[in-house]
Structure 1
């Protein structure tokens, strides 16, 4: 576990930040490959990733602050000077908004753009969770005696009675700390599962499918991944033993599943004909808005 890599004067370089950057670079590479395959300018991928990175980080931070507002109000400097406190769902909303704005600027179909982004998001999540594992930002799970359970003594958020938690019989988080305690390495679980999601989406990309379908599959698969991992993660239960993240994951699966059904029915009604290249691959040099 290496929360802090090194210092450059007043600047602290965190392992989480490094892995986040590598996640964006991997996403850029994946989207670039899809741009080449679809006959689009590869530079379109860089525009998407830069916009998604900026707006995604902002959305992630805003979500984290709003989700734990009392803590940040008590110590406002944590809103900026902290190596933790990023929430994926906020980042996803901000990133999608950034990608939408870029797609509008280049006049590339948003659904086509999201299909190219879906595998990239999954691989970015997988790499990002490695950052969580290295930094010990509190994304670990509940106490466990499994052979692969581990401790995070150098965690950036601390390794103590306030950060090592368990659920009581009423699904309330209480201290689970004791000398020698080990927990579920939830970031490792998520890394493995999100790599699986990436592999599935990447294998599907060359098959014919109505535009948007890869993104809908991402919503279903990523939602299922987070829903399952959340059972062992340290997060408050807010509704019938489910966490806030699980409720969002359920919404993702419902939206994605409904969209898959609707696009399948529409495709069958239209005879399942593959759209022409001009519709599927809009030209990069189209007039800008």
Structure 2
């Protein structure tokens, strides 16, 4: 596993570049996911505008407006934070390099560096405003194309999505949140995709309505990119080992180096007892440990064992037992291998993205592509939950996970949306 890019470059290229410890593997893939979604959304919005399904909207823009005091202050604050941390890293590199992530999230830094960089950025903002200021403010009307709003969509999705993902994750893991609320909110891990999707969708749809963008065409344009972004985001989960894995596959155990070995299921109990302290800490005992034995079928012998069970050595959350001879911060491995559910979702979502991308030009009913996305994503997530580790609720004797509840609602909502959009489309055709 690669907790951050330092480990990836060291393992894959043999390069040891300490500054790469700043860049978490999960965060790297999340950034790539946003860029991929933005690219596909831009492409689709342009295509739909060429077909006349979307149109540019006139908007009044004021030019020659002086830079406000608020803008200067914001630039100064951003500069202070950057200088405070970056100069702090450079000035105390020997100590900071041991744990860059903790340093970034701490109150440590260089006060002098923060003041210098903050003042510099504030001054540059002021000078930029003075240089570009016209003799007189002029208000002009310009046509703004829907695809030109993609940067706004991306920023809103990032901010609202992060907030929603954190809120839903902490609601799902309320016990952990109560024990350490600050740590839970500020940690680099612990994000629920559906929470981010729901909150970001609400914010973006409200914005689209305000800017007179056809919402059904917008969500259809976004659907393939959302599926692609989910698949890429799961790459971050898998390659960092962030805990989004499945239940134990009791047909496999993990050796001290992190390699998986197929064993008789009876070996499961032996390993449990040998690592009783770890399992008792996680599950309160050895009686309720989620597992299912599934050895590799003979017909799939060409697939590696880690496709069916994986120990996630050097995982970013330090889950498991210590690996002998390992030094450093990330030295844990799961003693019993788990189903690599993130890997399954990567494959499934990339295939579903290809499906949505291939049918997007054939479907003429506005809103239907997004309805299909909701159904496919809901079905995929519902079934993967059967072998994932998640908090379960007790609802009238039924014990679903948060993701199962939301995915079921997505399937129902997607089906209703398809029905409603088809009805609306047919009614419009009849009238015309």
Cα 1:272–1:29 change in 2 (3 A) is farther
Structure 2: distance between partners of 1:64 and 1:272: 46
Q: Which residue of 2 aligns with 1:166?
A: none
Structure 2: distance between partners of 1:179 and 1:136: 11
Q: Does 1:255 align with 2:413?
A: yes
1:153-208 residue CA offsets vs partner (Å, 9 max, x unmatched): 222223328xxxxxxxxxxxxxxxx9741111100111111112211211121124
Cα 1:42–1:259 change in 2 (3 A) is closer
Q: Does 1:214 align with 2:369?
A: yes
Q: Which residue of 1 aligns with 2:360?
A: 205
- Report how many residues are paired: 257
Q: Which residue of 2 aligns with 1:152?
A: 312
Structure 2: distance between partners of 1:28 and 1:43: 11
* 1:262 CA drift (Å): 2.9
* 1:61 CA drift (Å): 1.0
Structure 1: distance between partners of 2:218 and 2:226: 12
Alignment of 1:126-275 (within 5 A): 126-144=231-249, 145=251, 146=296, 147=305, 148=307, 149-160=309-320, 180-238=335-393, 240-271=398-429
Gap runs ≥5 in structure 1? 162-177, 276-289
1:105-156 residue CA offsets vs partner (Å, 9 max, x unmatched): 3210111111111111100000000000012111110112343211112222
1:40-94 residue CA offsets vs partner (Å, 9 max, x unmatched): 4532222211211111111111211222233223223323432211101110012
Secondary structure in structure 2 of the residue aligned to 1:184: coil
Structure 2: distance between partners of 1:266 and 1:80: 43
Cα 1:179–1:133 change in 2 (3 A) is closer
**Structure with greater contact order relative to length (CA < 8 Å, sep ≥ 6):** 1
1:203-234 residue CA offsets vs partner (Å, 9 max, x unmatched): 12112422111111111000000011111111
In the alignment, is the contact (CA less than 8 A) between 1:72 and 1:79 conserved in 2? yes
Cα 1:34–1:202 change in 2 (3 A) is same
Q: Does 1:52 align with 2:157?
A: yes
In the alignment, is the contact (CA less than 8 A) between 1:35 and 1:44 conserved in 2? no
Q: Does 1:82 align with 2:187?
A: yes
Structure 2: distance between partners of 1:266 and 1:81: 45
Cα 1:226–1:208 change in 2 (3 A) is closer
Q: Which residue of 2 aligns with 1:70?
A: 175
TM-score scaled to structure 2, two decimals?
A: 0.55
Structure 2: distance between partners of 1:215 and 1:182: 36
TM-score scaled to structure 1, two decimals?
A: 0.81
In the alignment, is the contact (CA less than 8 A) between 1:52 and 1:97 conserved in 2? no
Secondary structure in structure 1 of the residue aligned to 2:5: strand
Choose 256-265 or 45-54, whichever is displaced more. 256-265
Q: Which residue of 1 aligns with 2:32?
A: 22
Cα 1:108–1:270 change in 2 (3 A) is closer
Choose 13-22 or 74-83, whichever is displaced more. 74-83
Structure 2: distance between partners of 1:259 and 1:80: 34
Structure 1: distance between partners of 2:348 and 2:190: 22
In the alignment, is the contact (CA less than 8 A) between 1:115 and 1:215 conserved in 2? yes
- Larger-gyration structure (1/2): 2
Q: Which residue of 2 aligns with 1:120?
A: 225
Root mean square deviation, CA, Å:
2.4
In the alignment, is the contact (CA less than 8 A) between 2:379 and 2:411 conserved in 1? yes
Cα 1:267–1:81 change in 2 (3 A) is closer
Structure 1: distance between partners of 2:203 and 2:393: 30
Structure 2: distance between partners of 1:265 and 1:105: 26
